[in-house]
């Protein structure tokens, strides 16, 4: 495959706005319509906050959306640092707080706000919630990977903040780095958001000045791309049941979050190394959304920014939920950065 190295237009946020209610972004959609009865989740609200606050072309609409999402996360992080995930349409929590995945996602979203928000007041609000969450840790590998990215973002804005540094060190210690003997990945199976582990090591190692940690992240990312790239050169991702050593593709259903996580990790490698190779790999991840995939199917509506929920044999899931839409927007942001580096 030849990745086209041209300017890439930003995706509109019209579907994100349509999916957003008074408390946050609705989790699920029936085609394009939000499934309001399913309510909200911290996982998606944190991803939405990250997307809108790091968008370089800020508008009044995006500023308003960021305010909704930040308020949600402030409420989600409890006084002891554990985080709620599920909220009803009426705005009531329906779960018990914990330090599972959504804790890590909340830390990531708040960290992005601390780093990128133009308003000092919003940065201060996000930092207060971040510091509450940073008093906890998670035994979960992916929760730790997500939180590591948030802590690294905070250190980019506040290099001497001890709480962020301590959290980052703790999170990185929980990420496996050494590939298993029978293949290039440190877990028996690929699961979900796999490249988040690579990204955490790259950005975390860079924030701490640990060249060896950065090198570990790049080595894992290189191995992951070798596993997840088809012989013809496009991404062929793990399916919903994951992927083990020697499992041939294509596998189904492929989730947009996998391609977006790869784009995030590749653009992080680009930022640290400056190597054009990583820009091209970022564009390969974006190309998965625009149809260069195992089903030859476009996975994003360029007119609205809506992302489709899964790649299926010969087609796609036509529902456009929050996770898939935000994955497409995130990958588009990364691709724009990569394309500028190659211009």
Domain boundaries, the chain: 39-174, 180-343
Q: Tell me the three-class secondary structure of the chain, residue by residue.
A: CCCCCCCCCCCCCHHHHHHECCCCEECCEECCEECHHHCEEHHHHHHHHHHHHHCCCCCHHHHHHHHHHHHHHHHHECCCCCECCEECCCCCECCCCECCHHHHHHHHHHHHHHHHCCCHHHHHHHHHHHHHHHCCCCCCHHHHHHHHHHHHHHHHHCCCCHHHHHHHHHHHHCCCCCCCCCCCCCCCEECCCCHHHHHHHHHHHHHHCCHHHHHHHHHHHHHHHHHCECCCCCECCCECCEEECCCCCCCCCECHHHHHHHHHHHHHHHHHHCCHHHHHHHHHHHHHHCCCCCCCCCCECCCCCCECCEEECCEEECCCCHHHHHHHHHHHHHHHHHHHHHC
- Please tell me the predicted confidence (pLDDT) of residue 6: 58
Residue 1 in this model has a pLDDT that exceeds 90? no
pLDDT higher than 60, residue 140: yes
Average pLDDT over residues 91-119: 97
4, pLDDT greater than 80: no
Is the predicted pLDDT of residue 2 greater than 70, yes or no? no
C-alpha pair distances (Å), 260 with each of 13, 25, 267, 289? 17, 19, 11, 9
pLDDT at position 181 is 86
Collect all residues with Cβ–Cβ distance below 8 Å to 64 and sequence separation of at least 6.
none
- pLDDT, residue 173, reads 98
pLDDT in tens, 185-239: 999 999 999 999 999 999 999 999 999 999 999 999 999 999 999 999 999 999 9
pLDDT in tens, 151-192: 999 999 999 999 999 999 999 999 999 999 888 999 999 999
In this prediction, what percent of the chain has a pLDDT beyond 70?
98
pLDDT attached to residue 5:
45
Give the class (CATH, top level) of 180-343: mainly alpha
Is 244:179 a contact under the CB 8 Å cutoff?
A: no
Average pLDDT, the chain: 96
* Rounded-to-integer distance, Cα 80 and Cα 305, Å: 37
What percent of the chain has a predicted confidence (pLDDT) above 90? 94
Q: What is the pLDDT of residue 66?
A: 97
How far from chain centre, in Å, is Cα 343?
25
Q: Are 29 and 36 in contact (CB under 8 A)?
A: no
pTM exceeds 0.75, yes or no: yes
Average pLDDT over residues 300-313: 97
């Amino acid at each position: 495959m030849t990745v086209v190295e041209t300017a890439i237009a930003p995706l509109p946020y019209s579907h994100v706005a349509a999916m957003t209610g008074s408390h946050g972004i609705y989790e699920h959609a029936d085609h394009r319509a939000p499934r309001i009865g399913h309510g909200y989740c911290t996982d998606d609200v944190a991803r939405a906050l990250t997307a809108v606050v790091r968008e370089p072309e800020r508008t009044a609409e995006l500023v308003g959306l960021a305010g909704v999402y930040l308020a949600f996360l402030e409420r989600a992080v409890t006084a002891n640092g554990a985080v709620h995930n599920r909220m009803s349409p009426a705005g009531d929590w329906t779960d018990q707080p914990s330090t599972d995945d959504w804790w890590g996602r909340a830390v990531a979203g708040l960290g992005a706000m601390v780093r990128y928000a133009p308003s000092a007041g919003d940065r201060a609000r996000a930092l207060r919630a971040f510091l509450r969450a940073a008093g906890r840790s998670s035994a979960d590998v992916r929760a730790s990977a997500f939180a590591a990215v948030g802590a690294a973002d905070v250190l980019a804005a506040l290099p001497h903040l001890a709480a962020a540094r301590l959290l980052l060190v703790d999170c990185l210690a929980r990420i496996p780095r050494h590939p298993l003997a029978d293949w290039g990945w440190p877990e028996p199976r690929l699961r979900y958001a796999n490249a988040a582990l690579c990204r955490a090591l790259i950005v975390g190692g860079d924030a701490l000045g640990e060249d060896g940690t950065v090198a570990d992240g790049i080595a894992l990312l290189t191995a992951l791309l070798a596993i997840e790239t088809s012989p013809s050169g496009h991404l062929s991702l793990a399916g919903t049941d994951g992927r083990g050593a020697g499992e041939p593709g294509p596998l189904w259903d492929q989730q947009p979050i996998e391609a977006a996580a790869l784009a995030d990790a590749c653009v992080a490698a680009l930022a640290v190394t400056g190597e054009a190779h990583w820009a091209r790999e970022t564009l390969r991840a974006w190309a998965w959304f625009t149809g260069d995939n195992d089903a030859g199917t476009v996975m994003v509506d360029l007119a609205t920014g809506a992302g489709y929920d899964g790649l299926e044999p010969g087609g796609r899931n036509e529902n456009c939920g929050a996770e898939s839409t935000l994955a497409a927007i995130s990958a588009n942001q990364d691709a724009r950065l990569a394309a500028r580096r190659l211009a």
